[in-house]
Structure 1
Amino acid sequence: MPILPKSKSKPQKAPISAHKVAELAGVSRSAVSRTFTEGASVSDSTRRKVMAAAEKLGYHVNHLARGLIQHRSGIVCLIVAEMQTPYQSAFLEAVTRRLQEIGKVVMVLNTAGLAANVEAALRQTLNYRADATVVVSGSPSASLIETCIDNGQRVILINRDDPIVGPECIMVGNEDAAREACLMLLRAGCTRLAVVSSTAGTPSVTARENAFVAAAAAEGFAVTVSRAGPTGYAAGGDSARQLLAASLRPDGVFCVTDLLAIGFIDAARQDFRLSIPDDLCVIGFDDIAEAGWLGYNLTTFRQPIGEIAEYIAAILTTDEVATQNKKFPVQVVWRRSVRP
């Protein structure tokens, strides 16, 4: 085997310092600092000299070091699981884009949704001195949230109605949507109701499931609940095979997410040759892009992702902490998976 010549690696260069910029521009080090500090006083001639020198040398401000001195890193961490799912990816796209527009540095920490992984990620945000953390998935312990808040970090919980004092909570109308879904199915003439949930047990999933069952009970109807697996396409199909194989199969189904609903519809059509909505009405939740595809035409509830992203950006541009939970209503999106 031929011996390859050793590559001569170039030594890593040190970053251009503000001191070098000051020397080239013929100004003081503090003048360079004021030039790159928003709102600081500096003459136009000095600013031009500094900017020209910085451009020539390729100088960039170390915002992280400056932020730590000022006890502001500008970092916002997003703790999220199941990033590959349509809803989570759409949510991340909207939130990260909006936060970057207001000058925040976004750090996404991917977890498997387990409590231990979520807590490890939240501890990591303390190591990076993040200004704020948005917990999109999982349920960190109250003590750890309090530790983050005690260290000057803001904690924003998404879709978790929690009695913990301190974090800011953003909710959507899970219960309202589930109750409306029940009434929609009853108005369509459905009498054998079912809810397709999951084993995830997240606060939002549980809230939708419980509210649907309670609404049906108030109208005098029993509900069959199926939890065939994690919140995803495969679990929706498995739930369909469990529910539709029964002698008294349901004729109206509320799926707590669109991904579950899409899996349910595919199995209902392919395995049982059922027609949607003639034989079976199906309602989802989230309004992911696939819900509007012609193959599904899924009636669902739309979460206002854009409004939530805008709200997160707005509260992170102020030092005032929201003392009450913020709740966003969801919107019914009528398509053809429910009989008119």
Structure 2
Amino acid sequence: MTTSRSRPKKASVSAIRVAELAGVSRSAVSRTFTDGASVSPATRAKVLAAAEKLGYHVNHLARGLIHHRSGIVCMIVAELQAPFHSNVVEVTTRKLQAIGKVVMVLNTAGQPDNVEAALRQTLNYRADATVVVSGAPPVSLIETCIENGQRVILINRDDPIEGPEIVLVDNESAAREACLMLHRAGCRRLAVVSSTAGTPSIVTREQSFVAAAAELGLEAQVSRAGPTSYATGAEGARQLLGASSRPAGVFCVTDLLALGFMDVARLEFRLDIPEALCVVGFDDIPQAGWIGYNLTTFRQPIGEIADHIVAIIEKDEADPAPPKRLPTQVAWRKSVRP
């Protein structure tokens, strides 16, 4: 019978070993791997050759902590499976990595306590900044992070507290435009398909649409059949379209809700979109442009959101700037009559 022996763990190569092999001082190795530091071309060549031979890598985390900068940026996301959130993470992580940041994505799906635990974890890792994509963390917890010297960036959340950097899209104007869009298409019975999530962005879209309808002398029905999901949109369609006063124009506060709503409207109620029913979404996720949906929606400027996050993290001053409010853009397709 043979016995397997585990290979001994190989120790990481130290800067001292590189210095010994290169025949230079320890400080010369440090200067070689420090941007802007003074080191002669000959010394740099010796150090790089020795580092290559030994397989040496700079411990950026340790070096950063000495200067109170870890280089880590945490992203807190509650719904990674949601197309809009996954798009935000994909674009933002790519741009943060391009400026040399290490991105830690914390998935807080499930219990609300998971969001609190994730935020506390960012303090343990001494993250340079935390980007909160989820709308769930309580204000008190955000204040705790700020009090501990952490830069907090909130996406689509405008809390009345001092300290966080805020990046918003103009949810109110978009929702009001959605109402006018449906009204111009001849829709007089209106409805909103929302969710029970209660996040600031969703609540603003829902309330702004209802207010705009009231200004036109119309009443907008509201459906909140569950969390922000395809299934909730489908159930919203069953509730609204099965009623005696069926709406003619519907605003779904996210595209994912709209996709579920449209499928049930066409497949279960046999309604033609947009001839019998007009539908407007919000986000402009990739699926909205699929030929099976052709959803008219409001595009969130994900690239601009990511660029602004990068700009916040790169700036030297710690004082937060006023909230950045970005406009949405209508993506005209075929779910609303001309």
Q: TM-score under structure 1 normalisation?
A: 0.97
Does the 8 A contact of 1:113 with 1:137 survive in 2?
A: no
Q: In 2, Cα distance between the equivalents of 1:188 and 1:62?
A: 61
Does the 8 A contact of 1:80 with 1:113 survive in 2?
A: no
Superposition pairs for residues 57-96 of structure 1, below 5 Å? 57-96=54-93
Pair 1:339 & 2:337 matched: yes
Q: CA deviation at 1:76?
A: 0.1
Pair 1:164 & 2:161 matched: yes
User: What residue number does 1:133 align with?
Assistant: 130
Residue of structure 2 aligned with 1:228, choices 211, 225, 228: 225
User: What residue number does 1:117 align with?
Assistant: 114
Q: CA deviation at 1:323?
A: 2.6
Q: In 2, Cα distance between the equivalents of 1:198 and 1:142?
A: 22
Q: CA deviation at 1:41?
A: 0.9
Pair 1:142 & 2:165 matched: no
Q: CA deviation at 1:283?
A: 0.2
Post-superposition Cα deviations, 1:112-163, rounded to whole Å, max 9, x if no partner, equal 2654211110000000010000000033233322222222210001100110
User: What residue number does 1:325 align with?
Assistant: 323
Post-superposition Cα deviations, 1:43-98, rounded to whole Å, max 9, x if no partner, equal 11110000000000000000000011110000000000111111111111100000
Superposition pairs for residues 27-42 of structure 1, below 5 Å? 27-42=24-39
Q: In 2, Cα distance between the equivalents of 1:65 and 1:242?
A: 57
Q: For residues 114 and 209 of structure 1, do their structure 2 counterparts lie closer, same or farther at Cα, with a shift above 3 Å needed?
A: farther
Aligned residues: 337
Q: For residues 114 and 166 of structure 1, do their structure 2 counterparts lie closer, same or farther at Cα, with a shift above 3 Å needed?
A: farther
User: What residue number does 1:7 align with?
Assistant: 4
Q: Given residue 92 of structure 1, which amino acid in structure 2 is its aligned partner?
A: V
Does the 8 A contact of 1:194 with 1:225 survive in 2?
A: yes
Q: In 2, Cα distance between the equivalents of 1:218 and 1:188?
A: 17
Does the 8 A contact of 1:113 with 1:138 survive in 2?
A: no
Superposition pairs for residues 258-277 of structure 1, below 5 Å? 258-277=255-274
User: What residue number does 2:191 align with?
Assistant: 194
Post-superposition Cα deviations, 1:279-328, rounded to whole Å, max 9, x if no partner, equal 00000000011111111110000000011111111121112243311111
Q: Unpaired runs of 5+ in structure 2?
A: none
Q: Given residue 192 of structure 1, which amino acid in structure 2 is its aligned partner?
A: R
Q: In 2, Cα distance between the equivalents of 1:18 and 1:317?
A: 28
Q: In 2, Cα distance between the equivalents of 1:139 and 1:234?
A: 21
Residue of structure 1 aligned with 2:171, choices 166, 169, 174: 174
Moved more, 219-228 or 309-318: 309-318
Does the 8 A contact of 2:163 with 2:320 survive in 1?
A: no
Moved more, 310-319 or 262-271: 310-319
Q: Given residue 158 of structure 1, which amino acid in structure 2 is its aligned partner?
A: I
Residue of structure 2 aligned with 1:299, choices 265, 278, 296: 296
Q: Given residue 116 of structure 1, which amino acid in structure 2 is its aligned partner?
A: D
